[in-house]
Structure 1
Amino acid sequence: MSTTTGPRTDVTIHRVGPDDAETVMEMVREIAAHEDQLQHLSVTTERWAQVLDRPDVIVLVARREGAAVGYVSAIRRLHLWSDKDVLALDDLYVREHARDGGVGRRLMAALAAGYAAPDQLTVTWGLEPDNDAAGRFYRRLGATLRDKVLAGWRPEAYRWTTSEAAERQPLT
């Protein structure tokens, strides 16, 4: 657990576990709504409780006066080209009333210090190209931003390939 004193009040950052699933789920709903992506949110609180018990899933929650004000989530995974693990940052979210108070910076610092630095892991993430505020924030942290298109292939889009592949050569 780390505590950082800020200009307003103390912020405590700690890694959460299954007992914190409801708190995490509440903030996940908020970020999905903020990004106009609620229609794609299908995870449940029960599933979060399972996920938060996995050693490769890292979720840190920032609290001010006991109330959750933000979180950062990441997954430790193998990067096949380098044969080294990376921390794949999934979300960084700070509730609106707590923004511009250093909470996001503190969450990123806690993730780096506690989970990336010990094994010299690279932290990777994506952001929307038109999210200028996020780009400025990450550049201030020292991150390098480069353009890259992310692609997603949903089951209904690749379904035709599974039947075609099975006809040509069954997988063993």
Structure 2
Amino acid sequence: MSEREEAPGAAEVRRARPEDLPRVVELITEHAVYEKAAPPAPGLADRLAALLFGPEHPRLRCFVAALPDGTLAGYATCAPELSTWDGTEYLHMDCLYLTEPSRGHGLGPLLITALRTEARALGLPELQWQTPTWNENAIRFYDRLGATSKEKRRYTLRAEA
């Protein structure tokens, strides 16, 4: 994928850079509030830096949506994962978030395009993700893209007893 997805003077989607991390953490915090979740634990920027920019190939990938003035208005993160049932890898989109004023201006499709391009570059056949069942705007957006959904619940269980 090229560093820029749009012409100069337009909004762009690009890979996150280390200097973007403070704003990405702000966006993640906004995203948690939007989804009625607990805020990120302290030290998130350091943990993300290791996952995104560590010495090994990145475990996590992050793309940011930048407005023409350079303000980061959203982000999407993804990582390769495995499907036992299909016996294949896929690209899992963990998060996609745009600030409220940035929604409806074409940034969401640009982020999805960047993730689809990343999946192809990694040789992965598809992109998978989930969204809360109450997030009707996101569901309409994903439906407009032609995505299909499966009804499942997501569970979390701490590793320590």
> TM-score w.r.t. structure 2 length?
0.85
Distance between the aligned counterparts of 1:102 and 1:72, measured in 2? 14
Q: Is the 8 A contact 1:12 1:63 kept in 2?
A: yes
The unaligned stretches of length 5 or more in structure 2 are none
Shift of residue 82, structure 1, vs aligned partner: 2.8
Give the match for residue 6 of structure 2.
4
Q: Is the 8 A contact 2:65 2:111 kept in 1?
A: yes
Q: Is the 8 A contact 1:135 1:145 kept in 2?
A: no
Q: How does 1:113-132 map to 2 (within 5 A)?
A: 113=117, 115-118=118-121, 119-132=123-136
Give the match for residue 89 of structure 2.
85
Which structure is higher in strand share? Answer: 1
Please tell me the root mean square deviation across aligned C-alpha atoms, in Å: 1.8
Q: Is the 8 A contact 1:56 1:77 kept in 2?
A: no
Which structure is higher in helix share? Answer: 1
Distance between the aligned counterparts of 2:146 and 2:77, measured in 1? 19
- The code of the aligned residue for 2:6 comes to T
Shift of residue 120, structure 1, vs aligned partner: 4.0
Question: What secondary structure, in the 3-state scheme, does the structure 2 residue paired with 1:126 have?
Answer: coil
- The structure-2 alpha-carbon separation of the partners of 1:121 and 1:81, relative to structure 1 and needing over 3 Å to count, comes to same
Which range moved further: 94-103 or 147-156?
147-156
Q: How many pairs were matched up?
A: 152
Question: What secondary structure, in the 3-state scheme, does the structure 2 residue paired with 1:69 have?
Answer: strand
Give the match for residue 44 of structure 2.
44
Aligned sequence identity (%): 30
Question: What secondary structure, in the 3-state scheme, does the structure 2 residue paired with 1:32 have?
Answer: helix
Q: How does 1:105-144 map to 2 (within 5 A)?
A: 105-113=109-117, 115-118=118-121, 119-144=123-148
The unaligned stretches of length 5 or more in structure 1 are 160-172
Q: Is the 8 A contact 2:51 2:59 kept in 1?
A: no
Aligned: 1:60 with 2:76: no
Q: Is the 8 A contact 1:19 1:49 kept in 2?
A: no
Distance between the aligned counterparts of 2:86 and 2:150, measured in 1? 19
**Superimposed CA distance per residue, residues 4-58 of structure 1 (whole angstroms, 9 cap, x where no aligned partner):** 36xxx6111111133322121111011011112134x225211121121152311
Shift of residue 109, structure 1, vs aligned partner: 1.0
Distance between the aligned counterparts of 1:117 and 1:127, measured in 2? 23
> TM-score w.r.t. structure 1 length?
0.80
Distance between the aligned counterparts of 2:5 and 2:157, measured in 1? 41
Question: What secondary structure, in the 3-state scheme, does the structure 1 residue paired with 2:86 have?
Answer: coil
Give the match for residue 162 of structure 1.
none
